[in-house]
Amino acid sequence: VSDTRVITPHIDRRWHTVAALPDLDDDNQSRQLYEIHSAFFSGLALGVIRFEPSHGEKRVYRYFPARDLAQERLMCGIVGILGREPVAGQIVEALKRLEYRGYDSAGVATLEKGKLTRRRAEGKLRNLDARLREEPLTGHSGIGHTRWATHGKPTENNAHPHASDKLAVVHNGIIENFRELREELTKKGHVFATETDTEVVAHLVTDEIRSGKAPREAVASALPRLRGAFALAFLFQGEDSEWHQRLNNLRQI
Ligand code: GLU
């Protein structure tokens, strides 16, 4: 990979901890990660490297050997289910199958009679399972996420889904221009509750909805404003009846 530095991996149990790279600002860092990801996807790299911010000032990168990722050539811990019964349990089961990719926290949101409700937990999925046992989610459609933090500590508050009164969103990747967007949205009166880059997506799309757009159009207007690498899944307040109607129609066919 032309402008990616050579990195020596040291064996650290399942993962290889990679010797610290020279300090990079966040933008360069995400560009570099993106290049490494691209190299991996195109079969040029031996693995994927991700920034691990949970070690305070020390910058630690983790190297995912390609053989561990070979089954699924995508770095992503996103699940969405439109069902006919409560889906939270199935979402967590699906996330468990993606556990091998590594994560530091997890969360689920479902729509319960048109209202968004979410549960999140730091650490392993069994912690999320425990949260859901204490306070179950009963919605029949939902989204879930396992997070590998890039911006903001791996806490429950920074765990996805991020939500507003209009929507919930899960995201994998990095929104590189999140600082500019956060500043702009804060001036408009949006109040940010997390340290993540992802939360700008929730506010940006919410802003479009408040200006009168339907969810699909709101996302279409927001996406061109995002820079970086991202996969997103949204759940909108009050929006599942139409989808369930379509699901029923499909079943009748
Ligand atoms: N950049 C986002 C965050 O730090 C998403 C990280 C991920 O891909 O899991 O919350």
Question: Taking residues 30-55, what's their average pLDDT?
Answer: 50
Q: Is 29 in the pocket of ligand 1 (CB under 6 A)?
A: no
Question: Taking residues 152-156, what's their average pLDDT?
Answer: 92
Question: Which residue, by CA, sits nearest to atom 8 of ligand 1?
Answer: 172
CA of residue 38 to ligand 1 center, whole Å = 17
Residue 12 has pLDDT above 60, yes or no: no
Give the DSSP H/E element, type plus range, for residue 33: helix 26-41
CA of residue 179 to ligand 1 center, whole Å = 15
- Best-predicted range by mean pLDDT among 12-26, 112-126, 218-232? 112-126
What's the confidence (pLDDT) of residue 126?
Answer: 96
Identify which of 104, 101, 36, 103 has the alpha carbon closest to the alpha carbon of residue 74: 101
What's the confidence (pLDDT) of residue 186?
Answer: 98
Query: 215: cis peptide before it, omega within 30°?
Result: no
CA of residue 189 to ligand 1 center, whole Å = 24
What's the confidence (pLDDT) of residue 11?
Answer: 31
- Please report, to the nearest 10 degrees, the dihedral formed by the alpha carbons of residues 178, 183, 184, 188 taken in order: 130
CA of residue 152 to ligand 1 center, whole Å = 9
Beta-carbon contacts of 83 under 8 Å, excluding residues fewer than 6 positions away, are: 90, 140, 141
